[in-house]
Amino acid sequence: MNLKEVYEKKMEVCLDEWGTEIDLLKAKTDKVKAAACVKYYKQVEEINIKTQAVGVKLAEL
């Protein structure tokens, strides 16, 4: 496995982990009050931005 493949695999694992984290955060937002929802949605947005950046890097490779 070359360096590029290792990097791609690492990024795919990150994407999977972030996807799971997003799902958990969304589930939490359904259970909490509106003020806390804002906090969780900000975290979801931050993770989505990271996910998009990794997706772009993977596409470039």
Residue 28: its pLDDT value, please? 81
What is the pTM (predicted TM-score) of this model?
Answer: 0.58
* pLDDT (0 to 100) of residue 49: 93
Length of the chain, please?
Answer: 61
Tokens for 22?
């997003």
With a cut of 90, say whether residue 58 has pLDDT above it: no
Cα distance between residue 51 and residue 34, in whole Å: 25
Per-residue pLDDT, averaged over 13-26, amounts to: 90
Distance separating alpha carbons of residues 56 and 45, to the nearest angstrom: 17
- State mean pLDDT over 16-29: 88
Q: What confidence score (pLDDT) does residue 61 get?
A: 80
CB 18 within 8 A of CB 50: yes
Mean pLDDT calculated for residue range 1-23: 90
CA distance 7 to 58: 9
